[in-house]
């Protein structure tokens, strides 16, 4: 049985449904991220799980026990959950050890057990030598670790995180998302993580639920979300992509400038006369001359019309010679093509993802 289950979960504000019939099963020990743009309903969903907001409809269950419904909710302090907010909410007048142990003090555990558990968790988050410092003496990343340690030390059934890295700079965010994943591997606490940052979700999660306008559009492992998006929104929100339109012509799908046998495309509706496909820029390749061995790939002549160097790769815009087709292409730093250079683009039909 899943540890955490959301069934037809809805939250309405007047005529607006901030969360609209969300169904999610979050497994025991799983790390699931709610990912989406501002206003998509992810934080409202998290706050309903925490018990801060009552649902307008549907239920929230933990191990089969109903915690929230339209008729009433278990208060937050009786849910056995821990939540970490965007602001770390650590007390400036308490030391690191006192901050981490505060929840255990409220639970009236013996002082010897509190000291032992606090010491153990501080060692895990690599703050053991800073136990007697105050928050003002810590860096942003160290304060974030204090908040994580305080949430973990009480051994919650579910850990909730609401964009906890949004106040950190880019390098520290990258370091902390690795740290969050490491802590999850150590403790295996069922975790729900809210973020609008795709890299955070991809780096930390077992699965990602992509939300849009209050609904979950797709729930899958990070690789599947990226490589096989099901909808136009998911394909466009996760990373960068090219959308191309095609129409059925008997056994083929004809795009602008090339055609593919329908049998080579996964997920083509046999009754659809038109389709939309997504292809990632890094799935495409460029060359100065037509390759001798096509290896099943489609080859299109054209030229480079735009380019941008981004350090780790080039961003090119390729324009086909005999059609209006334009595609964004990501290439290695060593693959240098000048603007207006004649080039060949190679496209593997397996990288075309048919979307809704």
Pairing of strands 190-195, 158-162: parallel
Q: How deeply is 293 buried, as exposed, middle or buried, from its count of CB atoms within 10 A (0-12, 13-18, 19+)?
A: exposed
pLDDT recorded at residue 251: 86
The terminus-to-terminus CA distance of the chain in angstroms comes to: 31
pLDDT recorded at residue 311: 93
CA-nearest of 59, 24, 16 to 40 is 16
pLDDT recorded at residue 293: 67
**3 state SS of 294:** coil
CA distance 213 to 36: 9
Query: For the chain, how many residues are written?
Result: 356
> Which residue is associated with the tokens 């933990």?
62
Class of domain 242-355: mainly beta
- The DSSP H or E segment spanning 104 is helix 96-106
Q: 262 Cβ partners below 8 Å, 6+ apart?
A: 248, 251, 252, 253, 268
> Which residue is associated with the tokens 């730093």?
333
Decide: 22 and 30 in contact? Cβ < 8 Å: no
pLDDT recorded at residue 165: 87
Q: Enter the tokens of residue 302.
A: 């054209």
CA distance 127 to 137: 13
Q: List for the chain the helix, strand, coil content (%; round to 5).
A: 30, 35, 35
Decide: 11 and 46 in contact? Cβ < 8 Å: no
Instruction: Supply the DSSP symbol for 320.
Output: E
> Which residue is associated with the tokens 């007697």?
132
pLDDT recorded at residue 167: 80
Per-residue pLDDT tens, the chain, 356 aa: give them: 578 999 999 999 999 999 999 999 999 999 999 999 999 999 999 999 999 999 999 999 999 899 999 998 999 999 999 999 877 788 999 999 999 999 999 999 999 999 999 999 999 888 999 999 999 999 888 998 899 999 999 999 999 999 988 888 888 888 889 989 999 999 999 999 999 999 999 999 999 999 999 999 999 999 999 999 999 999 999 989 999 999 998 889 999 989 998 888 888 887 788 999 999 999 999 999 987 766 778 999 999 999 999 999 999 999 999 899 999 999 999 999 999 999 999 999 999 999 97
Decide: 332 and 314 in contact? Cβ < 8 Å: yes
Q: 343 Cβ partners below 8 Å, 6+ apart?
A: 286, 287, 288, 301, 302, 303, 304, 318, 337
Helical spans, DSSP H, in 86-231: 96-106, 111-124, 140-153, 170-187, 198-204, 222-227
Which residues belong to CATH 2.40.50.140 in the chain?
242-355
Decide: 157 and 62 in contact? Cβ < 8 Å: yes
Which residues belong to CATH 3.40.50.300 in the chain?
4-230
Decide: 287 and 346 in contact? Cβ < 8 Å: yes
pTM across the whole model: 0.91
- Displacement of CA 160 from its chain's centroid (Å): 15
Residue 116 Cα distances to 82, 134, 236, angstroms: 20, 20, 48
Class of domain 4-230: alpha beta
Q: 103: alpha, beta or left, given left = phi > 0 and alpha = psi -120 to 50?
A: alpha
pLDDT recorded at residue 294: 67
């Amino acid at each position: 049985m899943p540890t955490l289950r959301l069934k037809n979960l809805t939250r309405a504000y007047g005529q607006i449904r901030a969360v609209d019939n969300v169904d999610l099963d979050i497994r025991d020990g799983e790390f699931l991220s709610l990912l989406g743009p501002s206003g998509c309903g992810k934080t409202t969903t998290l706050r309903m799980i925490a018990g801060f907001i009552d649902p307008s409809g549907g239920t929230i269950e933990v191990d089969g026990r109903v915690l929230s419904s339209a008729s009433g909710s278990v208060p937050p302090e009786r849910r056995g959950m821990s939540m970490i907010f965007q602001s770390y909410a650590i007390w400036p007048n308490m030391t690191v050890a006192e901050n981490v142990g505060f929840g255990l003090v409220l639970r009236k555990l013996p002082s010897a057990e509190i000291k032992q558990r606090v010491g153990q968790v501080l060692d895990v988050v690599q703050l053991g030598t800073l136990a007697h410092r105050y928050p003002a003496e810590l860096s942003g990343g160290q304060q974030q670790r204090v908040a994580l340690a305080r949430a973990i030390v009480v051994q919650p059934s579910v850990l909730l995180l609401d964009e906890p890295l949004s106040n950190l700079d880019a390098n520290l965010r990258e370091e902390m998302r690795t740290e969050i994943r490491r802590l999850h591997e150590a403790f295996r606490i069922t975790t729900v993580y809210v973020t609008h940052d795709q890299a955070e979700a991809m780096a930390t999660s077992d699965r990602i639920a992509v939300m849009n306008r209050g609904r979950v559009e797709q729930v899958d492992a990070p690789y599947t979300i990226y490589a096989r998006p099901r909808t136009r929104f998911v394909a466009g929100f996760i990373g960068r992509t090219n959308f191309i339109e095609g129409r059925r012509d008997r056994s083929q799908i004809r795009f602008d400038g090339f055609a593919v046998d329908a049998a080579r495309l996964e997920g083509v509706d046999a009754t659809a006369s038109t389709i939309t496909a997504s292809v990632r820029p890094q799935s495409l390749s460029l060359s100065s001359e037509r390759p001798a061995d096509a290896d099943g790939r489609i080859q299109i002549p054209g030229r480079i019309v735009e380019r941008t160097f981004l350090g780790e790769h080039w961003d090119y815009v390729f324009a086909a010679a005999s059609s209006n087709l334009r595609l964004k292409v990501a290439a290695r730093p060593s693959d240098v093509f000048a603007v207006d250079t004649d080039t060949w683009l190679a496209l593997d039909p397996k990288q075309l993802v048919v979307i809704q």
